[in-house]
Chains A and B, each alone.
Chain A
Amino acid sequence: MTTTTRVTLPAGASAPPAPPPRRVKPRKDRAGYLFLLPWFIGMLFTVIPFFASLYLAFTDYNLLNAPQWIGLGNFREMLDDPLLRQSLKVTFIYTFVSVPLSLVVALGVAMLLNRGVRGLPIYRAVFYLPSLLGGSVAVVLLWRYIFGLDGVVNAFLGWFGIDGPAWTSDPDYALTTLIVLHIWTFGSPMVIFLAGLRQIPAMYYEAAAVDGASKWHQFRSITLPLLSPIIFFNLIQSLISSFQTFTQGFVLSSGTGGPADSTMFYNLYLYQQGFSQFNMGYASAMAWMLLVIIAAFTALNFLAAKYWVFYDN
């Protein structure tokens, strides 16, 4: 079957009814563009707003009056805005604590699951399911009550004689509950790790075992280097999405970012500026700053990747 098509292919290409070459190309182009037509229109909805928001970032705009050019006014205001600083702090703490922790847990559990565990599909389903629910309003509401003063967590701590705080209404602990929620959703990086672990040939481990390498040594010298591109991918993905956290802070604090602004995520503050106070210019400036921050961290990661990510080809 394959041989026939291979034989007919060149014959077909040079067959008599083939139209002259200069007519072929535009027709080919046309089909491609037609298939992409919806995407092209959709790109207009992306590219134009992209530049429009850059413009709005330099204006004062409240939806009612025409935008007023104020130069760097919004950015200067951001420097002196204590709430903005607080929202950056909250977002950074959340990201830099929960992303590494959840990746470590994801990798650890993936390694436990890797070597032919019986019942793998069931375990995988149980660990993966929470990551589909973690961003839903229902689960964040649930979190408020699990970590409530009389909630399950404090009852559990009570068994060990620990008097738990009122997690969600105490500014020192509210963010912690959301970090725990983030770790609870380790399932999606875990599934990616599992797929990656499967690519590592078992014979590497066999050879290392013959040479007397310990489990830890095998992990350091085989698993980590060969898995590093996937760790890198998961890291970038988690960082980007974690910087944009919104629903968790909104639902936990009923939209206020409280208690005492301890769950004021960057995007929650952006929402308040844009859609409660209609400072659309300021909100656009904030969005662009977040874009720059995310781009900077991604670029840093790519630079650092040279030193620890290992590509085997």
Chain B
Amino acid sequence: MSLLRSRFARHIMLCLIGAVMMYPLLWMVSSSLKPSKTIFTDLALWPAAWDLSNYPDGWTALEHPFSLYFVNSFVIVVLSIIGNLVSCSLAAYGFARLNFTGRKLFFALMLGTMMLPGHVLLVPQYIVFAKLDWINTYYPLLVPNFLATNAFYIFLMVQFMRSLPHELDDAARIDGCGPFRTFWSVIMPLCLPAFATTAIFTFISVWNEFFAPLIYLTDSELYTVPLALRQFMDSEGQSQWGQMFAMSFLSLAPVVGFFIAGQKYLVKGIATTGLK
């Protein structure tokens, strides 16, 4: 009896915490469906008056339609995922399965870069990109991803590759595979779960990324979704509240979608590396 009661109490507590956690997000969705005038007078989650016009109006409220910002963000995200998968998997295979002089030293160096606060590199990197005439292009956002600069993903893949039995490499070698063939035909297909984790993490972090686009993109035609949203912040007029919440919700929707689709990989990924 008391066991049942304590179990019940635990569920009540968890549901309460969950409700508090979800409330802000639900309030955002509900506010996006209310006329701007009533957002702060009608605080109920279920709108008393509905106003669907926030979505079409918000879509075109800024200098460019949101379709442009969404396409920009998607292009950057997709290319970043490709870059991270290719460059990090190559590096991870080298670290996890091949033997070469200086491997331990380089691996330690890579782990060291994981701890390094990004702002230490910021100014010189900005200067280099400016000298290359890459300001107001996507290169500063994309090229680093093709050069395996994200040590977290290398580490994640190394951990995964190390768990694969070494007999696989030996068998492939005996069958006449060189390291590239072994990587491509034997190791890669087995690493798909680690690749899925990397792809989802890259999607979420690049989609939300604010700082790098802020300093490298000044031309509003190149803006990503977060930079576009930020423009709502500067225009405080109450007529735009509903539109702002509508576009905010749309900007979070892909993250939530990817999260629901890839939850399994995400949870496994953080459990093995402690990634955010």
Contact = CB atoms under 8 A, between A and B. Distances in A.
Interface string A37-50: 11101110110111
B66 to A, nearest CB: 13
Given A28-B98, A36-B94, A42-B148, A125 B260 contact: yes
A162 to B, nearest CB: 16
A31 B123 contact: no
5 contacts: A33-B94, A45-B121, A123-B18, A128-B259, A129-B259
Q: How large is the interface on B (under 10, 10 to 19, 20 to 34, 35 or more residues)?
A: 35 or more
A274 interface: yes
Nearest to A286: B119
Interface residues of A, number: 93
Contacts of B41: 150
A32 B99 contact: yes
Interface in B90-142: 90-91, 93-95, 98-101, 103, 106, 109-110, 113, 115-128, 130
Contacts of B167: 2, 5-6, 9
A287 B14 contact: no
A191 interface: yes
Interface of B: 10-11, 13-14, 17-18, 21-25, 27-28, 31, 39-41, 43, 86-87, 90-91, 93-95, 98-101, 103, 106, 109-110, 113, 115-128, 130, 144, 146-149, 154, 167, 170-171, 173-174, 178-180, 183, 204, 208, 210-211, 214-215, 226, 229-230, 232-234, 241, 244-245, 248-249, 251-252, 255-256, 259-260, 263, 266-267, 270-271, 274-276
Contact of B124 (A28, A49, A135, A138): A49
B147 A39 contact: yes
Interface in A220-278: 233-234, 237, 240-241, 243-244, 246-247, 250-251, 254, 267, 270-271, 274-275
Interface of A: 2, 5-6, 8-9, 12, 28-29, 31-33, 35-39, 41-43, 45-46, 48-50, 52-53, 56, 63, 109, 112-113, 117-118, 121, 123-133, 135-139, 141-146, 148, 150-152, 155, 184, 188, 191-192, 194-195, 233-234, 237, 240-241, 243-244, 246-247, 250-251, 254, 267, 270-271, 274-275, 280, 283-284, 287-288, 290-291, 294, 298
